[in-house]
Amino acid sequence: MFDRNGGHGRGLDAERPEPAGARSQEHNPMSSANGTQADPAASLPKPEGLEGVVAAATALSHVFGEEGRLVYRGYDIHELAGKAGFEEVAYLLWHGRLPNGAELDDLRQRLGANRALPESVLATLRALPGDAEPMDALRTGVSALGAAEHGLFDATPDLDEAIAVTARVPSILAAFFRLRRGEEPVPPRPELNTAQSYLYQLFGREPEPRHWRPLEVYLVLLADHGMNASTFTARVIASTQSDLCSAITGAVGALKGPLHGGAPSKVLDMLNEIGSVANVEPWLTRALDGGERLMGFGHRVYKAEDPRAEILRGMAEEASDPAFFALSKTTEERALAMLEERKPGRRLYTNVEFYSAAVLAAVGLPGDMFTPTFAVARTVGWTAHVLEQMANNRLIRPQSEFVGPTDKHFAAIEAR
Ligand code: ACO
């Protein structure tokens, strides 16, 4: 593992100099008051939110933040979006190269054959309240899968397991989606590709090309993204030699938060609240005056436009209702200008979530299925990262700087 100064410490345990820009903690409670020895952790770098810390070496994907560029296994995302199918990209991420025709057919068959859910997972989903959030249902469903199929998911994660969990994630979501509407889950049709099968299992009817094709491009765009929070979570869990379902369960939990994958439904809420082009300026002014964050803007790594946002903007223009697209576009333009005025130098641009909302709504999905659909795509990235972690594993175990007292004495309960 490498820090941005070029130092490396596998498992995040290296003692290294403070990186430029890292927040410094000068106070060291371990060193003075009680005369104990200085805590070596106090002199380690501690950038807030681990910004600038390189937590793993990966050949899977990389975000070139200054250039606004995303690369999967050597291919710029523009090379793949709209050209490669989701299964081709899954193969690319798992194997490091694009498949030939026979290899792609084989992967499609294996995914198709793995979509059915064990009865106990369906029973677990049936037991959830109908108003549970789909991301909570997914987290529960993946966890139940690990328990139901512990024979499959018990050993060191491998490609068979990656395929199995990638195939079952959309089935879990579709089953819960139907159960909460009082409908029975639809058995999968193995001949359908992932985008088709997901829509078929959700709505129980033949998916239309105008829906599954944009969904497939969306799945390609969201399949992997460097060391994002949920991927890091998956790698940390895998590094303990836990099982793949545990790693994916944790990753789903990390993805759920609005600072990561939970933003697109909030983008839709924002646009619905704004309601009209005339209300854009007053709404944004009120939100920013109130200290709110505008969902769908800003990114830890991109200091230029997220290339996925650019592609999704074009798709949204084609696929969504013209009035809704006009509202989105005006909101985006005013938000960018106002963020630049109020946060000069922060370089806040449109991120992937902003136009994901318009594209996924046009595909026919309700807002609370946006983040779960992100998870359908990212399961490929999570599993690929877990396999990469296991190929050269060392426990990921960083340190903390202790900032509490160390010299208290125990008092019996009646004396407190
Ligand atoms: N709206 C308003 N202000 C913002 C926004 C935003 N969307 N994003 C960042 N800022 C401001 C912060 O208030 C901060 O200002 P300050 O320096 O005056 O305090 C500055 O920009 C830097 O923000 P940080 O929080 O330090 O940036 P960080 O890298 O930690 O966070 C994040 C990145 C979480 C994505 C942030 O930009 C954000 O909250 N965006 C809105 C939520 C969102 O769109 N999430 C989806 C992210 S994409 C994904 O994960 C798939």
228 and 269 together in one domain = no
What is the DSSP secondary structure assignment for residue 350, as one 8-state letter?
A: B
Predicted pLDDT at 56? 94
| CB 23 near ligand 1, within 6 Å | no
Claim to verify: residue 199 and residue 219 sit in the same structural domain: yes
Q: Whose CA is nearest to atom 45 of ligand 1?
A: 259
**Does residue 406 lie within any of the structural domains?**
no
> Is 413 contained in some domain?
no
**Residue 98 and residue 49 share a domain:** no
Do 117 and 23 lie in one domain? The reply is no
Give me Rg for the CA atoms of the chain: 23
CA of 160 to the centre of ligand 1 (A): 37
Q: Are 196 and 98 within one domain? A: yes
Is 70 domain-assigned? no
3-state secondary structure of 63: strand
Query: What gap in Å lies between CA 231 and CA 248, rounded to an integer?
Result: 9
Residues 293, 55: contact at Cβ < 8 Å? no
Decide if 111 is inside a domain: yes
Beta sheet of 69-72, edge-to-edge order: 61-64, 69-72, 75-76
The protein residue whose alpha carbon is closest to atom 19 in ligand 1 is 343
CA atoms of 230 and 252, how far apart (whole Å): 7
Atom of ligand 1 nearest to the CA of 293: 1
Do 25 and 171 belong to one domain?
no
- Do the domain assignments include residue 20? yes
Name which residue sits closest to atom 4 of ligand 1, judged by CA. Answer: 293
**Confidence (pTM):** 0.91
- Is 403 a member of any domain? no
Helix count and strand count (H, E) for the chain: 16, 3
Cα(122) to centroid(ligand 1), Å:
38
CB of 309 sitting under 6 A from ligand 1? no
Q: Are residues 86 and 122 in the same domain?
A: yes
Q: Compute, in angstroms, the gap from residue 274 CA to the centroid of ligand 1.
A: 21
- Are residues 46 and 176 part of one domain? no
Same domain, yes or no: 335 and 380: no
Q: How many distinct structural domains can be found in the chain?
A: 3
Residue 402 forms part of a structural domain: no
Q: Is residue 225 part of a domain?
A: yes
Give residue 1's domain range.
1-54
Answer yes or no: do 117 and 227 share one domain: yes
Q: Which residues does residue 69 pair with via DSSP β-bridges, in sequence order?
A: 64
pLDDT in tens, the chain (416 residues): 434 333 344 677 654 444 433 444 444 444 444 545 678 888 888 899 999 999 999 999 999 999 999 999 999 999 999 999 999 999 999 999 999 999 999 999 999 999 999 999 999 999 999 999 999 999 999 999 999 999 999 878 999 999 999 999 999 999 999 999 999 999 999 999 999 999 999 999 999 999 999 999 999 999 999 999 999 999 999 999 999 999 999 999 999 998 999 988 899 999 999 999 999 999 999 999 999 999 999 999 999 999 999 999 999 999 999 999 999 999 999 999 999 999 999 999 999 999 999 999 999 999 999 999 999 999 999 999 999 999 999 999 999 999 999 999 999 999 99
Q: What CATH number is given to the structural domain containing 378?
A: 1.10.580.10
Contact 42, 25 (CB under 8 A): yes
Q: Are 216 and 160 contained in the same domain?
A: yes
Q: Which of 346, 370, 371 to mutate to test the pocket of ligand 1 (most atoms within 8 A of CB)?
A: 346
CB 248 within 8 A of CB 161: no
* Cα gap 268→356, rounded to integer Å: 9
Catalytic residues: 299, 353
Ligand 1 mean position, distance from CA 339 (Å) = 11
CATH number for the domain that contains residue 347? 1.10.230.10
Is there a single domain that holds both residue 256 and residue 274?
no
